[in-house]
Amino acid sequence: MSIDVNVTRNPDRRRYEASVGETTVAGFIDYQETSELIVLTHTEVDPTFEGRGVGGALARAALDEIRERGLKALVICPYIISWLRKHPEYHDLLYNAAPSRASD
């Protein structure tokens, strides 16, 4: 059963935060940032919200925001790596990804 999740980037804490309701942080993705890329290092979801779509909402929102900013993602977080296997539409964002052959 999924829930309504709002994801924001918190640059002071260097993480993307998933909120449920007005104040409850249901999960987060830690990151490090350079001028070229964002390194997604760790994802954590509060056990109360596991299995309810928080991790997927975090992954999607973080990668969408990285795309909007014109950056690349270096993913070392096992959860995000696993999530990306099911979402090839985000592979173009990967820092070490092979160039797309669609235009060949």
pLDDT for the residue 104: 45
C-alpha–C-alpha distance, residues 70 and 68, integer Å: 5
pLDDT greater than 60 at residue 100:
no
Q: State pTM to two decimals.
A: 0.87
CATH code at 75? 3.40.630.30
Confirm whether 22 is domain-assigned.
yes
What is the number of domains present in the chain?
1
Confirm whether 25 is domain-assigned.
yes
pLDDT greater than 50 at residue 54:
yes
Question: What domain range is 38 assigned to?
Answer: 6-93
Contacts 24+ apart (CB under 8 A), 43-51: 43/77, 43/79, 43/80, 45/18, 49/3, 49/18, 49/20
pLDDT averaged over every residue in the chain: 91
pLDDT greater than 90 at residue 19:
yes
pLDDT (average), residues 39-68: 96
Confirm whether 103 is domain-assigned.
no
Q: Are 43 and 28 within 8 A, CB to CB?
A: yes
